[in-house]
Structure 1
Amino acid sequence: MSLPPGFLDELRNRLSLSQVVGRKVMWDQRKSNQAKGDMWAPCPFHQEKTASFHVDDRKGFYYCFGCHAKGDAISFVRETENVGFMEAVEILACEAGMQVPARDPKAQEKADGRTRLAEVMEQAVHHYRLQLQTGWAAEARAYLERRGLAEVALEQWEIGFAPPGWRGLWEHLRGKGVAEDLILGAGLARRSDKGGEPYDVFRNRILFPIRDARGRAIAFGGRAMDPNDSAKYLNSPQTELFDKGVNLYNHGPAREAAGKGQPLVVAEGYMDVIALVEAGFGAAVAPLGTAITEDQLRLLWRIHPEPVIALDGDRAGIGAARRLMDLALPELEAGHALRFALMPPGQDPDDVIRGGGSGAMKALIEGARPMVQLLWERETEGRVFDSPERKAALDRDLRQALSRIKDPSLRRHYGEEINRLRWALFRPAPGSSRKGGWRGRDVPAAPRPATKVSALVAGPDRFEEELREAVILATLITHPQLLSEFESDLEQLDCAGPAHAAVQGALLAAVHRTDAGDLRAALEERLGPAALERLFVWNEVGMSLAACGSDPKRNALAVRQAFECLQSIRGWRIENQHAQDDIHHWADESLTYRIDERNRAREAALKLSDEEDGEIEIAPNGAPLPKDELRVWRELSESLLGRKVSKNNGKP
């Protein structure tokens, strides 16, 4: 049995052979040229010191000039891992994120069918090329001449024409003895919904043959000659040969040109690619009537580590660039990047070349901008940052975008560049002053020196959290009548360590018990006595609990404040993590403002009232409780922390 046809081709297309081989060899940095996919290393199949083992990453093959070993990614894994063919396929499929389909006993039959479809496609290419010379194609030839395509270019690109008739190709192929199912299977004709004979897919269109990386004709792209046609460009439907999301126009020739050092240029349409190649930019490709997909992005990076995206200079082109940016962010890694060469407003690459020649296009390609700049422009364009809140919103949006980059080193470099751009936006203009208000360019860029050494940026110790968890758990064990009241809070408690989490689970399982002795016996039976001994080991805990006494209101108050304080501390810690990120990536006065606000909120949460007079209502019936009983929480905290809690700001 064999795999379904096309699976191995897709597997090889998705993988980078140099990455597969790179796990087993050390590349010769002097001899290798990563930009061209030309890699050299000592051969892994025989003992040697010289770099005679060659990997052509773009073609996907290796060859050793010493022992003459050769093959592709599958054969390399077979030989180096000592596994069979299917095991090697499964290893590589896992790496490529593909699922190995069930083996197909009819795979050979299907492969033969694909070969027959490819043969029918070649007949269609030949037929359409002949039609371009007929009287029906006079207007098409005139259009191509106006676009600057000479006869030699028409031959090179195999451009053809589909006359206006409904069944010209169908009748031609049927007359040649081609079976109906092959014509339909190749996507050259459709069945009639009205019960009539099938009809041609392409009518009154200039046709551009689409070939895969191996050079096989797999589809057509057609430009309508009728300006009132519903679709200006039309591609072949999806077939056994063609999936527009995993192929590129001019893939094979572009791969070869990029291997010779030419920049890989990605345009939007067929005519743009043809114009680029005719102007000397041989490594030009285009997606097939759709936005670039993840599979096409991986194909681009296999051809060249830094493709230049040359999109039209209109709103649609800018929108396409930004969508591609979102697609690329999670896939970025060291050595894989994108640059963007946006055309002048209202122009595409073909317009640029016809208007200014290859030199104008070369300048745009050489001046292509890195993706980080487009990311910055997208997040700042049309926005005014005249308040700390708006600056914080910008920080949030940028942080969310950069968080999608998986490579930590690359994410850090992006952050540094964003920080530089942010500095340029918010630094004070010469002679400006903040007294006039928070205008974007008038805001000082650097945070106060105290910001970088504040407790928020330095990061809190989890010790305080564990102490408050201990107070909650110990109080509930000692006073089980509180369990029903705080059951929901206890369920949502995210314990800092496994020991407290185990006690938490046991308490939730015994929430129905109301006798302290009975509850403790049940917990010891489930957890063992050592678990509770660790919880009650501090004499301070026992002293604090004794201070609460048997008053249920005071006990409930202590537990409630412990939960609230713990929640405040953890919110503070989350903000701390964000601040740690921001202080390294983009830091200005708004960050100082955020830190100050969070510190004030934390201090307010930890602050313990020292007022002797006044009342606070906490009882369910609204009965007042003297405020001096709030000292209960201070007594608990001081006992646990073993230090005095300040009356001023709650800081020890």
Structure 2
Amino acid sequence: MPELWQSNDDRDRVRAATDIVRLVGEHVALKPKGREYVGLCPFHDDHRPSMNVVPSKQIFHCFVCGAGGDAFSFVQRYFKMEFREALEFLAERGGVKLTPRRAQPPSADSPRSSRAEIVQASAFAAEFFRAILRHPEHGQAARDVIARRAISPEMVQQFGLGASPSRWDGLLLTVQNKSLDIRPFTDAGLFKRRDSGDGVYDSFRNRLMFPIQDAAGRVIAFGARKIDEADEPKYLNSSEHAAFNKSATLYALPQAQRTIQSSRIAIITEGYTDAIACHQAGFTNAVATLGTALTREHATVLRRLCDTVVLLFDGDMAGQKAAERAVEVFFAETLDVRIALMSSQTDAKDPDELLKREGGADVFRKVIDGAIDLLDFRFRKLRERTKSAGPAALTRAITDEIKRLVELGLADQTPIRRKLIVRQLATIAGVDEATILAEIPAGRGGRRPAFEPRPVVEPKPGTASVDRSAAAHVLACVLAEGGLWHALSHPEQRKLVEGPWNSSALADVAQAVSSVAAQGRDPGLSAVLSIGESPEFQQAAVALSQAIEQQSESDPDRLKTYFEQCRKRMAIETGRSEPAPNATGEEDAMSKLARLQQQHRELGPDRRVMPRPK
């Protein structure tokens, strides 16, 4: 059986306070499609919307990778939370007060802290740093830095800025005085072990602290700027750990997310203070990288939220190089990506400096409005390099450019976009388009390994793999319409509960159906999901229900007819060690779903899957 939440009605109250469309829509751009909503699935490298959100059932389901479940399952998967964390997150979001529970003592057997423990330690540290910033004595130097940078009190509060004390054990003593476990703080990078191996000390000392949050708004790491100009380095950041992946995290995303979705535009800056300055000036769709180059993981996050990305870079040589690298990262994306250089409109070295000037916001807006298309930027650079090149050098440059674009995914571009690229290359080279096309290798081009999309998620052994037995179809019908359970005889009900099933997740779903029915309720999908916490359990239940919904086209009469056919098949199969083949010779719903998913995997995420014509 899946683990049940039986101590109180917390789960039901939180579920009632959560609208899954609004929840998913905060992290994925959704568009209405009939009675449902569709969007890019965040659980695989999706380029064509394959995830459905069903308001009437309060579920989500991806028809490619199979991810599915209710609001709790979405939060668990998206934020990599345990069930209790997801419950607490949704409760806080919905204004539901949970029943207090006794804290679990830390396990001495576990060598590393859990994600939840690290997040809790980071939250404690963030509050400690905020308290230090407010302290009349210990926070004065940090407040002076904030004043010099003209960061408003509203921004200090909104971004949770703090300060670390100028001592080696400020946070450590506080943790010890509270009798807290030191291990999660060490694993979060807040403490460092002494070279002697005896004890730990604070990682951050005498610095202005910038809490880094995940998409859920939880503090997971810190950026720390020096207060004393003699200290080095200027910025010191948390190292990566179980809850923090620098290459997939954008600073200020929780604060900017709503504006990004409503405007469909994101502005990407290069630093914490740049992002804060943008928000202070009213450009609340700005985020920042964490001192690293942009990655495809960043692009994937942005793709789910908006249509246009403006990459803002300083006009110096480093900014130019960063812009060229970003072009390669975003080349294969379906986003409208634009490059904005500060030097095009101002001598200010960064957005923070510009936005502090009189009229700086108007100039900044011109910088953004003057951003040029990603490909125009790349080909402008190519023109500059080949302006005075002879035939041999020009040929090498164009050939190298074609080779690089193929590696980046030229063959995966839409026909129109590919045509525009070929036309620009032909213009630069001074040849016709046919000559350029002849240089492009036939077939699909491969992106370089560093930027390959994540593979489509395959069902794990023993979880939610497809079961083609008649019993699975009967179970799916019951999930689609809970009242059908009562049409089954006791032997048929026992058959569903006892199996055998080809996965533990399906066995759990069958057991949950029986448990709900024993409580006097119809064991439909919503009721069954309400007692199962495991994402694998929820995925199996939703996949079954949605497959049958498609088969019956949501028609109650068709569903009942199909249900009776499956009952007859189940009776024939009963007593056999192996399921009997489909007696009608027709492709059933589960088999069809499995075939289409396999077909999609073979063709790749950028191809539309259509059934073979008969």
So what's the TM-score if we normalise by structure 2? Answer: 0.54
Q: For the residues of structure 2 that align with 1:138 and 1:55, how far apart are their CA atoms? A: 51
Structure whose alpha-carbon radius of gyration is higher? 1
1:210 and 1:249 in contact (8 A); partners too = yes
Partner of 1:388: 391
Kindly indicate whether residue 423 of structure 2 is the aligned counterpart of residue 419 of structure 1. Answer: yes
Letter of the structure 1 residue corresponding to residue 390 of structure 2: S
Partner of 1:206: 208
Q: CA deviation at 1:251?
A: 2.0
Q: For the residues of structure 2 that align with 1:349 and 1:69, how far apart are their CA atoms? A: 42
Q: CA deviation at 1:63?
A: 3.9
- Secondary structure at 1:307's aligned position in 2? strand
**Count of paired positions:** 375
- Secondary structure at 2:134's aligned position in 1? coil
Letter of the structure 2 residue corresponding to residue 343 of structure 1: M
Q: For the residues of structure 1 that align with 2:190 and 2:284, how far apart are their CA atoms? A: 29
Q: CA deviation at 1:407?
A: 4.2
Q: For the residues of structure 1 that align with 2:239 and 2:38, how far apart are their CA atoms? A: 36
Worse-matched range after superposition: 205-214 or 253-262: 253-262
Partner of 2:465: none
Q: CA deviation at 1:183?
A: 1.9
The verdict on how the C-alpha distance between 1:143 and 1:69 changes in structure 2, with shifts beyond 3 A counting, is: closer
So what's the TM-score if we normalise by structure 1? Answer: 0.51
Structural mapping, 1:157-176, within 5 Å:
157-176=159-178
User: Aligned match of 2:241 in 236, 239, 246?
Assistant: 239
Letter of the structure 1 residue corresponding to residue 138 of structure 2: W
1:223 and 1:232 in contact (8 A); partners too = yes
Partner of 2:128: 127
Structural mapping, 1:233-632, within 5 Å:
233-261=235-263, 263-329=265-331, 331-332=332-333, 335-344=334-343, 345=347, 347-355=349-357, 356-403=359-406, 404-410=408-414, 413-414=417-418, 416-417=420-421, 419-420=423-424, 423=427, 445=430, 577-578=438-439
Kindly indicate whether residue 37 of structure 2 is the aligned counterpart of residue 37 of structure 1. Answer: no
The verdict on how the C-alpha distance between 1:393 and 1:78 changes in structure 2, with shifts beyond 3 A counting, is: closer
Q: CA deviation at 1:197?
A: 2.9
More helix by share: 1
Q: For the residues of structure 1 that align with 2:58 and 2:155, how far apart are their CA atoms? A: 40
Q: For the residues of structure 1 that align with 2:198 and 2:412, how far apart are their CA atoms? A: 61
Q: CA deviation at 1:225?
A: 1.4
Q: Residue deviations 1:254-294, cap 9 Å, x none?
A: 22221111520111111111111122222221121211122
- Secondary structure at 2:250's aligned position in 1? coil
Letter of the structure 2 residue corresponding to residue 339 of structure 1: R
The verdict on how the C-alpha distance between 1:374 and 1:157 changes in structure 2, with shifts beyond 3 A counting, is: same
Structural mapping, 1:68-147, within 5 Å:
68-71=57-60, 73=62, 77=66, 113-134=114-135, 135-147=137-149
The verdict on how the C-alpha distance between 1:173 and 1:419 changes in structure 2, with shifts beyond 3 A counting, is: same
Partner of 2:35: 52
Q: For the residues of structure 2 that align with 1:54 and 1:193, how far apart are their CA atoms? A: 55
The verdict on how the C-alpha distance between 1:112 and 1:378 changes in structure 2, with shifts beyond 3 A counting, is: same
Q: Residue deviations 1:283-331, cap 9 Å, x none?
A: 22112121112212211222223211111221111111111222333x3
Q: Residue deviations 1:413-464, cap 9 Å, x none?
A: 35535634764x68xxxxxxxxxxxxxxxxxx566xxx97xxxx7xxxxxxx
2:61 and 2:68 in contact (8 A); partners too = no
Q: CA deviation at 1:405?
A: 2.5
Partner of 1:480: none
Q: For the residues of structure 2 that align with 1:409 and 1:264, how far apart are their CA atoms? A: 22
Q: Which runs of 4+ in 1 moved over 6 A?
A: 58-61, 108-112
Q: CA deviation at 1:37?
A: 2.0
The verdict on how the C-alpha distance between 1:73 and 1:175 changes in structure 2, with shifts beyond 3 A counting, is: farther
Q: CA deviation at 1:409?
A: 4.5
Q: For the residues of structure 2 that align with 1:201 and 1:411, how far apart are their CA atoms? A: 52
Q: CA deviation at 1:363?
A: 1.8
Letter of the structure 2 residue corresponding to residue 40 of structure 1: P
Partner of 2:84: none
Q: For the residues of structure 1 that align with 2:64 and 2:190, how far apart are their CA atoms? A: 37
User: Percent identity of the aligned residues?
Assistant: 27
Q: CA deviation at 1:382?
A: 4.5
Letter of the structure 2 residue corresponding to residue 54 of structure 1: Y
Letter of the structure 2 residue corresponding to residue 284 of structure 1: A
Q: Residue deviations 1:471-497, cap 9 Å, x none?
A: xxxxxxxxxxxxxxxxxxxxxxxxxxx
Q: Residue deviations 1:97-146, cap 9 Å, x none?
A: xxxxxxxxx9x989993223222211111110111123233232122112
* Structure 2: segments with no counterpart, 5+ residues: 3-19, 44-50, 78-106, 443-614
User: Aligned match of 2:54 in 64, 72, 86?
Assistant: 64
Letter of the structure 1 residue corresponding to residue 439 of structure 2: H
Q: For the residues of structure 2 that align with 1:171 and 1:79, how far apart are their CA atoms? A: 45
Q: CA deviation at 1:371?
A: 1.0
1:311 and 1:343 in contact (8 A); partners too = yes
Partner of 2:475: none
Q: CA deviation at 1:170?
A: 0.6
The verdict on how the C-alpha distance between 1:579 and 1:294 changes in structure 2, with shifts beyond 3 A counting, is: closer
The verdict on how the C-alpha distance between 1:315 and 1:580 changes in structure 2, with shifts beyond 3 A counting, is: closer
Q: For the residues of structure 2 that align with 1:421 and 1:576, how far apart are their CA atoms? A: 10
Letter of the structure 2 residue corresponding to residue 362 of structure 1: R
- Secondary structure at 1:248's aligned position in 2? coil
2:266 and 2:309 in contact (8 A); partners too = yes
Q: Greater relative contact order (Cα 8 A, min sep 6): structure 1 or 2? A: 2
Q: Residue deviations 1:573-630, cap 9 Å, x none?
A: xx9933999xxxxxxxxxxxxxxxxxxxxxxxxxxxxxxxxxxxxxxxxxxxxxxxxx
Kindly indicate whether residue 159 of structure 2 is the aligned counterpart of residue 181 of structure 1. Answer: no
Letter of the structure 2 residue corresponding to residue 118 of structure 1: V
2:422 and 2:437 in contact (8 A); partners too = no
2:252 and 2:287 in contact (8 A); partners too = yes
